[in-house]
Structure 1
Amino acid sequence: MGVKKQKIVKRSEKLSFMDTTGDGASFARMTKFTSLKGSKNPKEYSRQYVDMDVESSDVVGYAPAIEYSFDRHTDTPIHEKIAEITDDELLGTDTYVDIVTVDKFAVDSKGNAPARKRTYSVVADSEGDGTDALIYSGNFKAVSEITEGYATTADEWQTITFTAGSMPV
């Protein structure tokens, strides 16, 4: 029995897709982003017991966020949606977007890839930074639990269909 050959996972193999139509069925690839950096922001419960010299900590929750930045392009529905939220200073549920993150590096032989879907609030921070391109930045902050499932594509990962539940065997 041989040793499995390990391979580094490239950043370009973890893809993000957004539902821009609100139908929940089709998700478009989030392109032209210069940053999509996730932070778990764990919430801790820490205490020190009288019989210990060290403090104990437990993770009791998370406040996930994805820091984003993109060069604004025309004819890009995702950029248009985020720009509308930013430029029109939308509030509340008008800032919600569904994002699916796909582990393209783990596609099975049937073309299914593990995926996670979550609703985020677009928390716009700035627009206009830079002199060469119009840059938008901010954070997507979680407003729902993760829905685990899998993604399939018919167009080389430009759009996906998300299905909740375990990947078919």
Structure 2
Amino acid sequence: MAGDTNKKKLVGRHKRVAFMDVTGEGTTYTRMTGFTSMSEGKNSSEYSRQYVDESSERSDVVGYAPSIDYEFDRYTNDLVQEKIAKVTDDELLGSDAQVTVVMVDLFETKADDANTCTARKRDWSVILDTEGDGTDALIYKGSLKAAGEIIKGTATTTDGWRTCTFATE
């Protein structure tokens, strides 16, 4: 049917994009490009029990320990990759090894405005794994592990989603 607004559409992986605060100012976020892998695991914590008068166990989610496994081909003149590489190469610790990332759902626009989308912001600790893997490109691998609460809001762009700003809902 033409004009059917209830028709399901498959969401492509490229429609959820990540942006990082590379300056530490918390105003503009730069798109994370050149990543060959960026998958998020929620790592939920459960409270499970079985009551004596029931035949099956019950479970409730009582917490999360989110992490994002990443892998990227190292490029020069990429501020996001430079920031992660500095943490890795200089073996930074504590808050020096933390980054702020905004995940933007390009498939969820606000008020029919393709320049404003649903977004979630969180601070993450960069957990190093390996660098130097591969023979064709210098590859960095690791995880980002949650270092703060998730903040839901919107992201807005003025440059075709090369950068964005974030506003809390």
1:84 corresponding residue in structure 2: 86
| CA 1:153–1:2: 2 relative to 1, 3 Å | closer
Q: Output the amino acid matched with 1:105.
A: F
| CA 1:3–1:51: 2 relative to 1, 3 Å | same
Deviations 1:79-105 (A, max 9, x none): 111011011111111111000000011
Question: Aligned equivalents of 2:132 and 2:5: distance in 1?
Answer: 51
Q: 2:160 aligns with which of 125, 148, 156?
A: 156
Q: TM (normalized to structure 1)?
A: 0.94
Helix, strand or coil at the partner of 2:76: coil
Q: Alpha-carbon deviation of 1:159?
A: 0.1
Question: Aligned equivalents of 1:138 and 1:2: distance in 2?
Answer: 43
Q: Alpha-carbon deviation of 1:53?
A: 2.0
Cα RMSD between the aligned structures?
Answer: 1.2
Q: 1:130 aligns with which of 134, 148, 159?
A: 134
Question: Aligned equivalents of 1:103 and 1:163: distance in 2?
Answer: 14
Aligned length: 165
Helix, strand or coil at the partner of 1:106: strand
Q: TM (normalized to structure 2)?
A: 0.94
1:45 corresponding residue in structure 2: 47
- After superposition, residues 36-75 of structure 1 pair within 5 angstroms as 36-75=38-77
Question: Aligned equivalents of 2:50 and 2:107: distance in 1?
Answer: 42
| CA 1:49–1:7: 2 relative to 1, 3 Å | same
1:97 corresponding residue in structure 2: 99
Deviations 1:102-137 (A, max 9, x none): 001112323210000000000010001100000000
Q: Alpha-carbon deviation of 1:4?
A: 2.3
Helix, strand or coil at the partner of 2:87: helix
Helix, strand or coil at the partner of 1:46: strand
Stretches of 4+ moved more than 3 A in 1?
none
1:6 corresponding residue in structure 2: 8
Helix, strand or coil at the partner of 2:107: helix
Q: Percent identity?
A: 54
Q: Alpha-carbon deviation of 1:143?
A: 1.0
Question: Aligned equivalents of 2:7 and 2:44: distance in 1?
Answer: 33
